[in-house]
Structure formats: C-alpha cells, structure tokens
Amino acid sequence: MKIAASIFSAFIAGTITASAFVAPSSNAPVAFTRNSQEVAMRGKTGLSEKMSDELDIPCDEECAMTCYPNLPESVHPGVLSGQAMVDLLEHAKENGYAIPAVNCVSSSGINACLEAARKNDAPIIIQFSSGGSQFYAGKDLDNSNYSAAIAGAISGAFHVRTLAEQYGVPVILHTDHCAKKLLPWIDGLLSASERYYEKHGEPLFSSHMIDLSEEPIEENIEICKDYLERMAKIGILLEMELGITGGEEDGVDNTDVPLEDLYSKPEEIYQVYEELSKVSPMFTVAAAFGNVHGVYSPGNVKLEPEILNKAQDYISEKLGDEAPEDKKPVMFVFHGGSGSDLSDIRKALGYGVIKMNIDTDTQWSYWEGIKNFESKFHDYLQAQIGNPDGPDKPNKKYYDPRECMRAAEVNTVARLEQCFADLKCQGILGLGEKKAADNVFGPALGGLPI
Ligand SMILES: [Zn+2]
C-alpha cells in the first residue's frame, strides 16, 4: 500500500487539485452495504457520478453498490482509474493474483468478458489493440491518421462504461501494444480522456500501453516519461514494454528476433523503474522473460519467470530502505500467456505479475463456439426454409445472428473461467454466486439450447 496511497497522492497533489483523488483512510475490508443512498466513494473523491445516474439508466442491486466486501473502499462497479485502479492493482500484488486482460474486438466480446468477471466474482481488464479498435469502428471506415482506430476505441470505451456498472464488476479499460508509428492513435485517445476528465473528473480510459521495445532503451524511456507525465495528471496508468515479446500478434511479427532480446536484464528493468518513478508511480512493466504471442508447438523459446524475481530482488537491493515491505517494487505484466504451463503462470504471479494478457485463447474459444453451433445445427442452417423436420419449416431462429454469437460468448465465458482460475482471480469481490438473470423477454424470443 505504500506506493498506492502515499506517493500517488503526493504526485497528484502537485499537478492537479488535491481533492480530485483522496486515498481511502484504510484498505481493510469494509462492511458490505447495498444501501444505494449511501454517498458513493466517487462522490466523496470528487469524481464523476455513476454512468447509470448520469444517463438515468435503471440499475439493479449490484450496479448500485458503492464498494465490495473484500476490496479497498475506493474500488467500485464500473471503470476504474486513478487511486481506485492503483488500489486494485496493489491488492492483486499483495494477494498474489493477476487480473485477466482480454483483447476485445466487438460488443459481443466485451459482454462475454463482463459476464465472465461477474461469474468469477472478480475484476477484469478489457483492452483494445490498434487493429481491434479499427475493427470496432468498422473496416470500411477510412483510417487515415488512425481516425477510425481512435473513434473505434472511444466507442468501445463508452460501451464498457455503460455496461460494466450493470454487471456489478470493476473494470480497468486499457489499450494494448502501441508502437512508435502508432503514437498518434494514443494521442487521440489521450485528448479524448482529457476532455472527459474536464467534465467528469476522471479519464475515459484507465491505462494505455506504449511499446517502444524496438527502439533503443534510452529513447523508449524518454518517450514513456513524457507520456507518463501527461497521463498521470488525469489518473491514467502507463504500461511500458521492455525487451521483446516473441511471436506474431495483430500484424506485428517478432518471430525472427535474436533470442537474447526475448529476456530482459535486471539492470534494464531497474533503469526503467528509476526513471519512470521520477515522474509517477503509475506504471507497470511488460518485461520479456521468453514470452511469445500466439500458440506454437513447443520450440526453442523457454519461459523464465525467475527473471522477474531476480529483477525484484535487484531493484529492492538498489532501493535499500526505500524498498517496499514485500520486496516487490515493480508491477509486472505478462504478455503472451496463451499456451503457457500453469506452473510458469503461478510462478510469475508470485513474482509481482498483476495482469496477464489473453487474446489467442479467446480468439479460439469465440470461433470454437460458432464452429460447434454450426456442427450441431448444420441441417437447419443451409437455407432460409427447409430442414430435417420438413421442407416448409423455417430456419429463422437458427440463423438469427444472436444464436451463433451467443454460442461464441458462452464458449468464451467458459474459457475465461479457466483463465480466472489459473490467475487465482476468483472470489475477489466477495459478492458470491450470481443469481440467475431475470430475462423479461424469456427464451420464447430467441435462445436455442446451445
Ligand atoms: Zn502483448
């Protein structure tokens, strides 16, 4: 909690009104209350009202909560930023779990994430890549100057902001890899967050990743420092990449990089930690420890989570008395987790990993849901009319896009449940099991047995 409460407030106090973020006086679990009349933490801290209040959207009990039984008081349903986000990440580090960070390209994918988070009684990180953001806007839209990628990510952000509260889960809203040539995309999103902050007292996005790992380390650090300064002013966290994640994702091909670049050195991680800490403590590091994007048959690259442990020890030693009690000064992010051994994932959690990215595995689960749906109802999906029950029978209820998309969502929620379990990220909120949904439109309007 050292970093979370004290340093963060001090940094913020110097740059914006001190009342904008106030650290909670205690992070002990608070008594759970469902009294929606209670003053919301966000009200106390000067942050904006809930989205549901602002838009006057009906809100059920979980949406109306102001905090959770098991989490610091600042953590609330909906999108987190600033102190509330830092408190949640510190809670993850202290308690040895990591939050799944899932790449989404559609509202359907986002809803599957929110559903999975509530089912697992846990927080979630929803993230958009640059390509995913453009896709969210529609592939026919012109993307000169990354205009479609900017608009798409903002559109996705508002979708998440509107629905996260309804699901009753805390969400960190993040963007994934941003290489040097993509910086105008992040510039556009930061401008949007700054405008949002003026109106609401919080940024639109919680955090952004800037990946300058292909540039010399000095340039990487300098540019990250500039961005961190701009971001920390409005409570946005920076994820920076050091070393290279191998493999291929979203059009970035790192399958041929030298082997040594796939492993970060403790000295380099310290260099980053020391320089970025001068600006703000609101950063995480995606260090390379042999991680690879995508799923490949076993090859030469070996995962070495001990690299993270060595870095924590090295930096703690350098910090001396300034080192935090847990001797884990750095919050690490795990890229390329798909296909990793559970034992390696668990080791990484113990070494200060608080976020693991998930993309390849949920790409597969979404597709597999559609594949299985098609296999199951194949004979009902070949024409608008006519199936094994008769030549005049209509097939509308089978080819309604809601059916195959829902099958994809259900399969993805199941896959995510395994991710939450692997990352020890279950039962974190303390809400218990979710009661069955009260679907007023009922199964009569759509809803085949999937
Ligand atoms: Zn990555």
- For ligand 1, the distance from its centroid to the CA atom of residue 310, given in whole angstroms, is 22
Write down the pLDDT at residue 42. 56
- Residue 267 inside a domain? The answer is yes
- Residue 122 inside a domain? The answer is yes
**Strand 124-128 versus strand 170-175 pairing type:** parallel
Q: Any idea what the CATH number is for the domain that residue 119 is in?
A: 3.20.20.70
If one counts the domains in the chain, the total is 1
pTM here? Answer: 0.88
Task: List the domain range (segments joined by +) for residue 235.
Answer: 74-359
- Residue 79 inside a domain? The answer is yes
- Residue 408 inside a domain? The answer is no
- CA-nearest of 328, 333, 91 to 209 is 333
247 neighbors 254 (Cβ within 8 angstroms): yes
Q: How high is the mean pLDDT in each 10-residue block of the chain (450 residues)?
A: 43 38 35 32 56 87 91 97 97 98 98 98 98 98 98 98 96 97 98 97 98 94 98 98 79 72 90 97 94 69 90 97 95 90 94 96 97 98 97 95 96 98 98 86 62
- Residue 419 inside a domain? The answer is no
- Residue 449 inside a domain? The answer is no
Number of H helices, E strands in the chain: 15, 14
- Residue 132 inside a domain? The answer is yes
Angstrom distance (rounded) from CA 127 to CA 103: 5
- Residue 11 inside a domain? The answer is no
Q: Which two tokens stand for residue 339?
A: 């296909």
- For ligand 1, the distance from its centroid to the CA atom of residue 55, given in whole angstroms, is 35
- For ligand 1, the distance from its centroid to the CA atom of residue 345, given in whole angstroms, is 15
60 tagged catalytic: no
Candidates 176, 211, 361, 422; catalytic one? 176
